[in-house]
Chain A
C-alpha cells in the first residue's frame, strides 16, 4: 500500500461519484440549510430568554416564539433526515455503477483469468469491497464540505455581533484547513495502522482456526492458545501506542471546542461586569446567541473526524477494485462472419501459439521483460475431423486447459485456427460457441432449481431438460428430490453428491443440440461408480458430435480415436492410441508413470 497507489485510488474514487452528484449536492444543501436554521433557532431562543430575563416578559407573551422554535426544530429534523437519505442514495448509486464496472471487466477478462484465484476472492471484491465505499460517499464527502461551509456561515453571522468572539472562533479553530491537515493526516495514518493491525490479528486468528485439526494431531493446541493470547497482547500494546497519537490529534479539536466555550463565556461575563471594555456593547441576547452557537461551530468538524475510518476503508477497497479494473485484457479477436452452418465442423490448427503476456496483466508482468513470458502453447498444428473422440493428455502445466480455452475463444492467440474452413479470428464468437458445449472438472451448480441449472438462462422446455437429464444418466437424481425439476438445489450442490452434480452439469451441456463437446477432466472429482455413469452417457452421444476430452485416466484413452499429447506447451504426440503405444516413447513413458489404481 504505497502512498502513490493510495492517492490514485482516492482520485479514482472521486471520479466515480459523478453520477451521484445530484444526490450529494442535495445532501450538502440540506446540511447547509440545517446549519442556517440552527442559527435562526439560536437567535430566536436567545431573544426569548433575553426578554424573559431582562425585560420581564411572561411566557404567555412568547407563545408565538415557542411555536416558531418548535417548527424550526421539526424542520431541522427533516433536513437531517433528508440529508442522510440523499447521502445514502448517492452511495447506492455509485456502488451499483462500480459493481457493474467490475462485473463487466471480469466478463471481458474471461474464465481463464477468473480461474487464477478462488472465486470467493473475486466475489469478495465485487460484493463486500464495493459495499465499503458506501460510508465514504454517503457521509464523509458531504461532511467534508459542511465542515468548511457551516463554520464559515457562522463566522459571517458572529463577527457583526462581536468581533472579539469572532476572533476567538477563528483562532481556536486555527483556520479549519490547518486543523483538517493536522487531524486528517495523522489520524488517518494512525487509523489505517489500527485497521491493518486489527485485520492482521483477525487473519492470524482465522489461520489458527483453519489449522486447528493439524494442531490437534500434533497436540499443540495449548501452545497455539498462548501464541494467540500473546499476539493479541502484542497487537493491543502496539495499537494503543498508535491510538494514543491518533486520539491526541482528535483531542486537540475537542480541547479548542471546550476552551472556546469557556473563553466566550468569560469574555462576555467580564464585558457585562464592565471589567472588559473593548469589543463594544453586548447584550444578554448577544451573549446567549454566541454561547448557543459555540458548540455547534465545531460540531461539523468533530463529525468529520468520526468518518475518517470510512475514508481509510474506502480507499483500501478502491485500491483492490482498481487493481482488478486495471488488468490488461486480451484483445478480442472476433470477426463478423457467422459460422457456415451446413459444413462439417472440421477443426484445423496451424502453428498455434499462446504466450502468457497476451492475457496476464497486473503490475508484476508490466515490469517484467518480454523474454520472461513463456509460451503457454508453442506452435501447435493438428487437425480434428468431425465426430472424432479426441483425448488430450500431458502432465499438469503442459497447456491442456490453455488449448481448449483458446479453442473456445477465451484467449488470444497467434497462428491459425480454422473451423469448418473458416478462420476463428473472422468468426463471430457467439455463432461458434452456440455449436459448443463444455463441461469442467468441478461441476457448477448455481442457486436455483434443477430446471434453472439445466436450462441455464436459455429457453428450453421442461421436456427437453428431462430428456437431457435422461441422456446424462441422471434421472435417479430426481427420484430423491421432492419437486422434480422444480426442486431447489442448494448452493454448490449442497444436496447433491459430486457425481450427481456433474451429471446435472452434463445435462446442461446436452440440452441443446451440440456438435462440439469439450470436456476438461469431467470425471476428476468423481468416485468410480459415478464416473462409469458419466462415461456411459458420453459414449452414447451422437456420432457426428466431436468430443475433445482432457483426461488423466489412462483407462479412458482406449475409447479415443485420436490422442494429442502436450508437454511444456508443445505437441509431442498425435495419433490413435494404438499407434502411439507402438511408436511414441513419450506416450509409453506417460502411461507407465501415471499408473494408478483408479484405472483398473
Chain B
C-alpha cells in the first residue's frame, strides 16, 4: 500500500469529480435495489389486498406505483451520469498522472534518462501509468460503493428486523472483506509469474525473429520453435490458472447472491410466521438482498489484478526516486563570452544495468583531462569510437557529473549556472536527434519559440531540409509536414539536418556539435558545416568528429585517446593515401 500512497495523493486534486462519481455510482445501485425491492413489495401487497374487494378498493397504489417509476428513471439517469462523470474524472486523473510523471522525470540526469530510453522500458512505464489510472474506476469506486450500499441496505432492513439486518450486513461485509483478500492472494503468485512468462515469450520471439538468418543457416529453426512453443504453453498454463480464478470469482458471485437471498428468505420467513412483519416486507427483503449483490460483483476481479497495479506503482516509484541533477535557482551569472575551461576532469561511466551484477566494469572514460578553449575559437576533437568524445559533451550539458575536477564557462563553475543560463550559453547538436511527432514547424520552434515562418524557411533552406518535400512528393506547405511517428520518418542524414537547423535557430556563445556530418555525403556535409560555422563565427565552437572533412576551418584540433587529449600535429597532413 505504501507504494500506492503518493498516487492516491494525486487524487486530491480531483476529489470533487471523483466523489461525485462514487456518489452517482451509489445512487445508481440504490435506485436499482429500491426498484426491485419496492416492486416485490408492491406485487405481494396488491396480491394480498386483491383477495377481498374491499381492501382492493382502498389500496393506495399511487405512491408505490410512482416510486417504482421514479426509481426506474432515477437508475437510468444516475447510471448515465455516473458513466460520464467517472470517465471524465479518469481522463483528468490520467492527465494529472502523466504531468506528474513528466515533471518527475525532468530533473533526472541524462544518464538515468538514457536507461529508460532503451528498449521497451519506457513503453512499460507508460503502461504502468495507465494501470494506475484504472485504480479509481476499477478499485476505489466499486469498493466504496459496495461498503456504502451494504451499510444503507442493512440499516433499512433494520427498521423491520434486526435479525435479518444482522445477517445481511454480516454476509455483505464478509464478502467485501474476504473476497478482495482471497482474490488478491489467489492472483498474487500466478499474476507475477504470468508477467514474467509473457516477457520471456516476447524475448524468445524477438530473439527468434532477429536471429532468423542464423536460425536458417545453422538449421536450428525446429529446436528454437520447440522451445518457444514450450514457453507459450507455460504462459497459457498461467493464464489458464488466472482464468480458473476469475471463473471461481464469477461462480462465487452466482452462488453468493443466490445463497444470501435464500438465507434471508429462511430467516425472514421464520420471523414472518412469528408475526414480526408482513409477507410483502419479507418479499422486499429477499428481492433487496438479490439486487444488492450487484454492488458486490466487481470486487473479486478487481483484486485479482491488484498485485499488478501495485507492481506498476513500485516501478514508477523507483523511477521518480532516481538521482536528479540539481540546478541552483539563482544563477551565479551568465556565460556570454564562451570561454571554456576543463581542469583535471576525470569521470567514470556507470551503466545502471550493470550495477547489480558482478561484471560491473566502470572504466574511467575521461582521465585527468585539462583543456582551455578561448572564447571565439573553433576547436575540433578527433577520436575513434568509444574514446570518450561524447562524454565531454555529456559533461558540458550536465548529463554527467565529473568524479574529480571542474568545468567552468567564463570562469563560472557550470554547477553554479541555472538551467536556463546554462542552456542559453550553449547550443547543442547532439549525436542522436529526437524527431518529435509534430509538424516541421513545431520541431523547429522548439529551438526558437518566437521565430517567424520566414526565419524558419531560411533555416530549412540553409540546412538542406528543403529536400524533404521534394523527396516525399508532397506539395503542401513545407513547414506543415508531419514528422516522426505517424508522419514522415526522417533518414539519418535528414535527422542531422534537422539538428543543425535547430542549432541555426538558437544563437549562443558556445556551439557544441557531436558528429554533425554523420549520415551526410561529403559535399553536403561541407556545405552544411560552412553555413553553421559562418553563423557561429564569433562563438566558441567545439566539433566532435571522426572524419577529416572540414578540419581546415578549425583553429585547433585535438585527438582524444583513452580519455586523454593530445594536440593534433598532423592537421595539415594527407587525407588518405
Contacts and interface: CB of A to CB of B under 8 A. Distances in A.
Interface of A: 34, 41, 45, 48-49, 52-54, 58-59, 62, 66, 69-70, 72-74, 76-78, 80-85, 88-89, 92, 95-96, 99, 103, 106-107, 110-111, 114, 119-120, 122-123, 126-128, 131, 138, 201-221, 223-225, 228-229, 232-233, 235-236, 239-240, 243-244, 247-248, 250-251, 254-255, 258-259, 261-262, 264-266, 268-275, 283-284, 287-288, 291-292, 295, 395, 408, 410, 430, 433-434, 436-438, 440, 444, 446-447, 456-458, 480-482, 491-492, 494-495, 508, 526-528, 554, 591-593, 595-599
Contact of B117 (A99, A210, A255): A210
Contacts of B69: 262, 266
Interface stretch (B147-155, B341-349, B380-388, B404-412): B380-388
Given A76-B258, A219-B420, A107 B221 contact: yes
A269 B43 contact: yes
B43 A127 contact: no
A597 B548 contact: yes
A232 B436 contact: no
Nearest to A67: B262
B16 interface: no
B163 interface: no
A73 B283 CA distance: 19
B122 A210 contact: yes
Contacts of B569: none
A271 B61 CA distance: 12
Contacts of A591: 576
Contact of A458 (B218, B258, B385): B218
Interface string B214-258: 111111110111001000100010011001101110111111001
Interface string B402-438: 0000000000000000011001100010100110110
A268 B61 CA distance: 12
A410 B80 contact: no
A42 to B, nearest CB: 10
A232 B84 contact: no
Given A269-B61, A593-B522, 11 more contacts: A73-B254, A123-B202, A214-B436, A215-B446, A218-B506, A262-B69, A288-B43, A438-B214, A444-B210, A526-B385, A597-B383
B8 interface: no
A433 B216 contact: yes
A240 B91 contact: yes
Given A76-B258, A203-B437, A247-B80, A103 B269 contact: no
B446 A220 contact: yes
B48 interface: yes
Contact of A78 (B44, B225, B251): B251
A224 B434 CA distance: 14
B270 A59 contact: yes
Contacts of B48: 53-54
A480 B201 CA distance: 28
A217 B428 contact: yes
A107 to B, nearest CB: 7
A260 to B, nearest CB: 9
B323 to A, nearest CB: 15
Nearest to B53: A274
Contacts of A270: 46, 61
Contacts of B383: 597
Given A457-B218, A458-B219, A554-B576, A213 B434 contact: yes
A444 B211 contact: yes
Given A106-B212, A202-B130, A213-B430, A221 B262 contact: no
A286 to B, nearest CB: 10
Interface in B112-157: 113-114, 116-117, 119-120, 122-123, 125-126, 130
B255 A77 contact: yes
B337 interface: no
Nearest to A274: B56
B262 A66 contact: yes
A217 B430 contact: yes
B39 interface: yes
B480 interface: no
A89 to B, nearest CB: 8
A88 B239 contact: yes
B181 interface: no
A458 B214 CA distance: 11
A272 B47 contact: yes
A54 B105 CA distance: 70
30 contacts: A49-B279, A53-B283, A54-B47, A58-B273, A62-B269, A70-B258, A73-B262, A77-B254, A111-B212, A203-B485, A207-B484, A207-B485, A210-B117, A210-B122, A236-B95, A240-B87, A258-B35, A265-B42, A269-B45, A269-B64, A273-B46, A284-B47, A288-B40, A410-B216, A430-B219, A438-B213, A456-B218, A456-B220, A508-B218, A596-B546
